[in-house]
Structure 1
Amino acid sequence: MSSRLDPPTSAPGRMPIGEAIDRLVRGGLPLRFTAYDGSAAGPPDAPVGMHLRTERGLAFLMTAPGDLGLVRAYVSGDLDLSGVHPGDPYDALVLLKDNTRFRVPAPTEALQLARGLGLAHLRPPAPPPQEHLPRWRRAVEGLRHSMVRDAEVIAHHYDVSNRFYEMVLGPSMAYTCALYETPDATLEQAQAAKFDLVCRKLGLQPGMRLLDVGCGWGTMVRHAAREHGVHALGVTLSLEQAEWAKAAIDREGLGDLAEVRHLDYRDVVEDGFDAVSSIGLTEHIGVRKYPAYFRHLRDRLKPGGRLLNHSITRPHNRRQETGAFIDRYVFPDGELIGSGTIIGAAQDQGLEVQHSENLRLHYAATLRDWNRNLVEHWDECVAEVGEGTARVWGLYIAGSRVGFERGEVELHQVLATRNHRDGRSDFPMRPDW
């Protein structure tokens, strides 16, 4: 992205923006920062540069200190990066994370800085259109994790553009962690390996019935039907996903085995399924809803049936809200917790947990490959959804990769059974997959 200097526009007597940045960063910036007023900070020979192009960008930084202000300026095009591609700013994020230590100024110094940069910049600009409402304002759409509000926030993230997702996710259209059986596996090979692992853990055999909740574009449904002869039903809250999945089922001639409905998982009334898969749904339902969630899925299973829950987790079991960027731009109302809480909630609803597996590093590799796809198709992605949205995705995917690599987030598959009344689980003495 461009790092050219726009003409200086700072008023006489104003503090240079670069000087203000220098005062707020302990030990200095690891990258080269330049601003529209002609000022600069950081080493001139740094491999990564950041250029603040406009006064609106400065207002974003001053009125939302921290990540949110930076994201607003970046998504709006008021802040540019050089030395990295906007579809994969991974190197810039690692550099900043490892080498930047901001300090909080005392109130008197903060006032001095604000006056020096111009008090007029304390009037917040309108946020970019990609930004969702803050949590407190979403209350008008219904209680958190109510059916109405869940449908709205799911549409915010997933109903972007099926063509955009095709370019970023690749032919599998799988928006969940893949499984890299070898270091040189392609993304498509890794996604196929993930779905096959899920099928093997569930013990799927021809003629069995599978329910896939939060089915996305129907990849698990189609894989189970095509590769294992299973009668598979998938449900998703995203209308665009459901329509794409139905078309894919028709193209592949799987209509006699596979079905996808535009439906909330809570509205599935059929029961007696041999297996239930939930791949990437738990992050959206809310920790307080876990008891009802696992109870509902348990009730869909026949005795001896298996449930596979695949979800992003935290490395601890403390309640912690997601950061402002993820909540406003990526997964509104999303919630993460440790695998211990998920396991405990499943057990409390009468499910016997048979196995748990952490695929954290596999998700880091998946995100790396999504960034590569975004870079490869950048111009077409920008034409499809606009540069601001494309920037959001490049930043989100690369930032998530850093989080998985550093162990700040994990990915767990938890396998459980609904046992018979006499305690039989129909599960082998040892895992057989």
Structure 2
Amino acid sequence: MNVDKIFLKSFLHTFKDESFCVKFWDGDEVKVGENEPLFKIILKKPIPKKDILKSTTLAFGEAYMNGDLEVEGDFLLMLNTVLKYKEKFTTDFRGLPKIFSNLTSTKKQKEEVTYHYDIGNDFYKLWLDDTLSYSCAYFKNENESLGEAQLNKIHHLLKKLNLSEGMTLLDIGCGWGALLIEAAKLYKIKGLGITLSEEQYKAFKEKIEKENLQDYLQVKLMDYRELEKSGLLFDRVVSVGMLEHVGRSNYDLFMKCVSKVLKKEGVFVLHYISGLYESEGDAWIRKYIFPGGVIPTLREIISLSADYRFYTVDVESLRMHYYKTLIKWAENFEKNTDKVREMFDEKFVRMWRMYLYSCAACFYTGVIDLHQIVFTKGVNNSLPLTREYLYKKSLP
């Protein structure tokens, strides 16, 4: 029997508590588990044992991208089932030095951000909501649209910032600017957004002019490291979905830079994807989706915050909200695959399908989480005593 096939059959024992079928390239079919199969995985070509041992997710992810692996049945159900066992997968970090490079220079991080976010605004418009919010939404009920939930998220964050008219607000990794635009309209704050993405910068600048918010908002192409010596000061700082690009060796520097520009008693709200354990990340995601991406744990960020006298006021997990967000994105993506295929190719379509659904499954199974943390710089005794203010409908 083929060595790769023997190893794959042995590997399937990892999932013995589940029920599904695997059809091999030679027509041989194996049933896993004792119950009725939920789906079937079809392997059109062998997946080498050495590749699976080097990185399980990279081997199977590439097989799917290349059309060598297909799924009969619910694709998300398959991923939800398989990724429950992700801790049993293997990754040879030393054997993949290009993927797990620890370089975090300004130039390197600019390249990494450009790789993902400068694919083109037209691409992101196909499957994001109208605000182009590319982070976890906040669903108040099951029936809300993606656009409604993204506005909920923005309002939820703005309330946590405890804004009032005339305050200054910095958004580190501002994306396409939806949060700052809403903050300027609702609270009449003075805001600055910084990003490394040329595409996001151009689009945000156009929005500022279109909304006649030039007196309230600015956007700059700027690395967070420039904040330390910028001389800027803000009443409030927010960062949404940016910390994942910083790299573990720079978490301390990131917190230091925030501290440098945040006024005494100021509020800092940090929204980021978190892991339960410290890890160098996933090989497939780092190679194809987010080069250099590393997910911080809650404990290491909380621990670092004390070094800069950041008091932790509130911590909230939105894990299942991100699951629902990704499902919405994936549904929108599926509706527009013909357009995506015209922009790129079939391999790109399969790559992004795998990315969106596998991330959804990782949130569903608890492989990753989403945390919002509210910090104050030093003691701030003026914030509300309870969380009640977060859930009031009224906005200024």
Which amino acid is 1:367 matched to? L
Q: Which residue in 1 is equivalent to 2:12?
A: 25
Change (3 A) 1:157 1:404: same
* CA distance, structure 1, for counterparts of residue 86 and residue 370 of structure 2: 28
Q: Which residue in 2 is equivalent to 1:392?
A: 351
Change (3 A) 1:427 1:76: same
Secondary structure of 1:427's counterpart equals: coil
Q: Which residue in 2 is equivalent to 1:52?
A: 43
Task: Give CA deviations for 1:25-46 in whole Å, capped at 9, x if unaligned.
Answer: 2259944444554444448x95
The farther-off stretch of 73-82 and 94-103 is: 94-103
* CA distance, structure 1, for counterparts of residue 384 and residue 105 of structure 2: 38
Task: Give CA deviations for 1:172-209 in whole Å, capped at 9, x if unaligned.
Answer: 21111111111222111111011111111111122221
* CA distance, structure 2, for counterparts of residue 103 and residue 146 of structure 1: 30
From 327, 333, 349, the counterpart of 1:374: 333
Q: Which residue in 2 is equivalent to 1:124?
A: none
Number of aligned positions between the proteins: 376
Q: CA deviation at 1:20?
A: 6.6
> Which residues in structure 2 correspond to 1:224-243 (within 5 Å)?
224-243=183-202
Q: Which residue in 2 is equivalent to 1:333?
A: 292
Alignment RMSD, CA only?
3.0
Conserved? CA contact 1:19–1:39, under 8 Å: no
From 76, 79, 100, the counterpart of 1:90: 76
**Uncovered stretches (5+) of structure 2, i.e. residues with no partner:** 391-396
Q: Which residue in 2 is equivalent to 1:427?
A: 383
Task: Give CA deviations for 1:349-391 in whole Å, capped at 9, x if unaligned.
Answer: 1222221111111111111111111112221122223222222
* CA distance, structure 1, for counterparts of residue 6 and residue 306 of structure 2: 56
Task: Give CA deviations for 1:226-270 in whole Å, capped at 9, x if unaligned.
Answer: 222222111111111211222222333323322222211222324
Change (3 A) 1:20 1:355: closer
* CA distance, structure 2, for counterparts of residue 287 and residue 24 of structure 1: 32
Change (3 A) 1:28 1:37: farther
Which amino acid is 2:80 matched to? V
Which amino acid is 2:312 matched to? V
**Bigger Rg, which one:** 1
From 237, 242, 254, the counterpart of 1:293: 254
Secondary structure of 1:136's counterpart equals: coil
* CA distance, structure 1, for counterparts of residue 301 and residue 85 of structure 2: 35
Q: Which residue in 2 is equivalent to 1:355?
A: 314
Change (3 A) 1:61 1:259: farther
Secondary structure of 2:97's counterpart equals: helix
Q: TM-score if structure 2 supplies the norm length?
A: 0.85
Q: Which residue in 2 is equivalent to 1:266?
A: 225
Conserved? CA contact 1:18–1:40, under 8 Å: no
Q: Which residue in 1 is equivalent to 2:110?
A: 151
Which amino acid is 1:203 matched to? N
Secondary structure of 2:314's counterpart equals: strand
Q: Which residue in 2 is equivalent to 1:110?
A: none
Conserved? CA contact 1:233–1:259, under 8 Å: yes
> Which residues in structure 2 correspond to 1:397-416 (within 5 Å)?
397-416=356-375
Q: Which residue in 2 is equivalent to 1:81?
A: 71
* CA distance, structure 2, for counterparts of residue 387 and residue 200 of structure 1: 42
Q: CA deviation at 1:92?
A: 2.0
